Structure 1
Amino acid sequence: MHTKIRPREILRQRNRRMKYLTLAFVLAGLGATGYWWVFNRNHVSTDDAFVAGHLIQLKAQTEGIVVEISTENTLHVQKGQVLVSLDGAHAELALQQAEAELGEIVRNLVSMAAKVDTLEQRIVAREATLDQVRHDFERFKAAARDGAVSDQQVQNARDKIRELEAGIRESRAEKISLEAQVNGIALERHPMVEKAKSRVRAAYLDFHRRNIVAPVSGYVAKRKVQVGDYVKAGAPLLAIVPLDDLWVNANFLETQVSAIRPGQAAEIKVDAYGDARIYHGIVQGIAPGTGSTFALLPTDNATGNFIHVAERVQVRIGFNRQELSDNPLQPGLSTVTRINTGEPGEPVLLSNVNIGGDAYRTDIYSHELDGVEPHLRRIIAANKP
């Protein structure tokens, strides 16, 4: 038995389904629009954002052979901890040479001071001889008029006087020269001594720096040095990464940055954790130029080959320190970062970057010369009479 086809009924069913489908699309669109209006209307986001941090390169400060490595990649090190030790033979030899030069200069100055006294006594002796020859010369002149003394004796006495006077002038000039070098200042503060002391300090510093210490606390990465390596000053050894001071470098399109201000809140999703964990941060500052401006080869649009490409501006976003402490991250991780531009924020040129951390300054090198001054005094005392 054939079913009778009713075209009007089919048309009504189809129209009914179309209405339901249209209503579903309208409701979905309204829901998406409402969600965007409530949650995304005042937000800008980018997936061109990465975790950044301080990568502190540790380099050799003097030359030598590596005799000990006291750390390894992924290990945590404390500020001031010895990480690499060099044999220090070259530095020790240089220190010994500088000490010997200081002692030699002290002895030379003492000898020059003694020579001043010697010249003074020589001048006194020559003046006494000159007085005697002058008296003889006067007697010879008187006796020569009576024929008791020959003219040759008178001439010899005159020549002797000139010789003695020249010798006295020479000794006085030599004395003045020596006095200019040694008199008027204590031996310990003499310029030649100070110069030699500086060389001792430099050699002492090189010898002290054969033990290479961590300038900050952090985790070791990229260890290149090996035991037995001969390294020179400036050779890279390893890197230290303080994981308690990280931030996000988020690169936003130039069409997105007009409403971004320092102080606005941000949400950060790290790809390593997906949607399971959201970090919160604050915009710290906006770069003063686009990425292409600081490129190695900046684009030159004046050449005529111009293609309009949306530039990106880097925005620095600081993490919430407590969240970072509870769930540590590593520099280089990819993120999806969203900024709430609905907040008023602060002036666009203001920067809230904190430079008060250990990554910006260290005091471990402040006391490296503490023991050198007593050492210098001992060297000077040992070479003085």
Structure 2
Amino acid sequence: MQKNIRPKEIIRQRNRRLKAVTLFILLASLAYFAYWWYLNRDWVTTDDAFVGGHLIKLKAQTDGTVVEILAENTQAVKRGQVLVRLDGTKAQIDLEQAQAELGETVRNIVTLNAEVETLRQRIAAKKATMALIKHDLDRFVAAQREGAVADQKVENARDRLMALRATIAEIRAEKNGLQAQVLGGAVETHPAVEKAKSRVRRAFLEYQRRNVRAPVSGVVAKRQAQVGDSIKAGASLLVIVPLDDLWIDANFLETKIADIRPGQSAEIRVDAYGDELLYHGRVQGINPGTGSSFALLPTDNSSGNFIHIAERVPVRIGLDAEELKQNPLQPGLSTLTRINISESGDALYSSSVNSDGDAYRTQIYQHELDGVEQLIDRIIVQNQG
């Protein structure tokens, strides 16, 4: 017997199933939204965030030709390690010239002192001669009264006495001029000698800086120097990246920045590791201006048509040092960063950035002039006679 088909019953069953599925989807969506809202209500998130770090550009400090490269990209280097050697021929010639100029200057000052002493002795000799002539003139004048000496002889003695006085005045002026040049002080403290000393120090420094050293420890990147390159002071050689001092530069929309404060906790997921690895950090500071304010060509909204664009404010987030040590990062990696704004945090424009690290100072240049003072003293002694 054939079963009767009831279209209305089929339609009712289908509608019931559709309503059940729709209700299930709606309840699932509401549950997911509630779950998402519960997890994210106290967080602000941005994917415009990147790993930041120090990119220390190593530049040549003197002119020269590259003769040796001792570090390559991806190699770790230590602070003070020689990375590039420059040809030292020109620097050595300049140093030898500066030493010769110092020796010549010292000899010139010694010569001036000797000339001053010579003029002093000449003055003494002229004074002795003048005393003798004056004594004779006194006798001639006494004898002239008795008619024993001719008037011409007395006049000649007086003329000789006047000539000697003029000569002494001339020699004394010359002596004063030389004394003004030597200033009556020690040779090694004379201004001309001090100037020559500075040239020696500068040339010595240039000679020492033919060896380019690493100011900090890190990993070499972007090597540009090549053997045989003739470079000038200031030319870029390579970059050193300290991988133990990294942070997150997160750019948040201005609509989300109001509740962000230094000291609040943050969670960072790096795209390179996906969701498997979670880094923790804390807000260290908020940039005192939007990115467009510091752009090379800032926007001028006072001219032409205006289109409102939400600006972004850079926020610096410090990473947990232990997590960074266990899972190293590189500057420039993209991240998904979120900040817990339910925490009170610190004052808005306070900062917990630590500038005591090795990337903020170096001591490798403090001893570049070691030995130069001994060299200068030796040159002065050798040329003082």
Same fold (TM over 0.5): yes
Structure 2 distance, partners of 1:5, 1:262, is 72
Match of 1:262 in 2: 262
Distance (Å, rounded) in 1 between the aligned partners of 2:2 and 2:199:
116
Aligned match of 2:337: 337
Q: What are the equivalent positions in structure 2 for 1:228-239 lying under 5 Å apart? A: 228-239=228-239
Residue deviations 1:21-62, cap 9 Å, x none?
A: 232123222212221232111111111111111111111111
Normalized against structure 1, the TM-score is what? Answer: 0.95
Supply the AA of the counterpart residue of 1:381: V
SS of the residue 1:46 aligns to: strand
* Secondary structure of the corresponding residue to residue 164 of structure 2: helix
Tell me the secondary structure at the aligned position of residue 379 of structure 1: helix
The residue type equivalent to 1:279 in the other structure is Y
**What RMSD over aligned residues (CA atoms) do the two structures have, in Å?**
1.8
User: Match for residue 226 of structure 2?
Assistant: 226
Deviations 1:255-303 (A, max 9, x none): 0111111111111111111112221111111111111111112111111
Structure 2 residue runs of 5 or longer lacking an equivalent are none
- Does residue 60 of structure 2 align to residue 60 of structure 1? yes
Give the gaps of 5 or more residues in structure 1.
none
Shift of 1:68: 0.8
**Separation (CA, whole Å) in 2 of partners of 1:280 and 1:179:** 74
3-state SS of 1:345 partner: coil
Comparing 274-283 with 52-61, greater Cα deviation is found at 274-283
- 2:312 maps to a residue whose letter is R
* Greater shift in the superposed pair: 208-217 or 287-296: 287-296
Q: Deviations for 1:287-342, whole angstroms, at most 9, x for unmatched residues? A: 11111111112111111411111111111111111111111111111111111111
Q: Which amino acid aligns with 1:325?
A: K
Report Cα offsets for 1:135-186 as digits up to 9, x if no partner.
3333444455565544443333222211110111122222233334435533
**Equivalent residue, structure 1, for 2:349:** 349
Matched with 1:305 is 305
CA contact (8 A) 1:73 1:222 kept: yes
Q: Does 1:29 align with 2:29?
A: yes
Residues 4-15 of structure 1: pairs in structure 2 closer than 5 A? 4-15=4-15
User: 363-372 or 178-187: which moved more?
Assistant: 178-187
Q: Which amino acid aligns with 1:359?
A: A
Residue 289 of structure 2: aligned partner: 289
Amino acid paired to 1:157: A
Name the counterpart of 1:196: 196
> Match for residue 42 of structure 1?
42
Higher mean displacement: 296-305 or 11-20: 11-20
Identity of aligned residues (%): 64
The alpha-carbon deviation at position 111 of structure 1 amounts to 1.9
Residue aligned with 1:303, SS: coil
Q: Distance in 2 between matches of 1:299 and 1:212?
A: 41
2:302 match: secondary structure: helix
State the distance in 2 between where 1:330 and 1:183 align. Answer: 62
Q: What residue identity is the alignment partner of 2:51?
A: V
CA distance in 2, matches of 1:360, 1:113: 50
* Other-structure match for 1:100: 100
User: How is 1:142-181 mapped onto 2 (pairs within 5 angstroms)?
Assistant: 142-144=142-144, 148-181=148-181
Using the alignment, how far apart are the partners of 2:73 and 2:135 within structure 1?
93
Structure 1 residue matching 2:288: 3-state secondary structure? strand
Counterpart in the other structure of 2:71: 71
Q: TM-score by structure 2 length?
A: 0.95
Amino acid at match of 1:245: D
How many aligned residue pairs are there?
Answer: 385
Amino acid at match of 2:28: A
1:234-249 equivalences under 5 Å are 234-249=234-249
Q: 1:382 corresponds to which residue?
A: 382
Q: Residues of 2 paired with 1:77 and 1:174: CA distance?
A: 63
**Does the CA contact (< 8 Å) of 1:53 and 1:241 recur in 2?**
yes
1:37-95 superposed Cα distances (whole Å, 9 cap, x missing partner): 32111111111111111111111111111111111111111000000111111111111
Contact preservation (8 Å) 1:63, 1:88:
no
Superposition deviation, residue 232 in structure 1: 1.3
Aligned-partner residue type, residue 346 of structure 2: E
Deviates more, 1:24-33 or 1:226-235: 24-33
Distance 2:22 2:353 in 1: 52
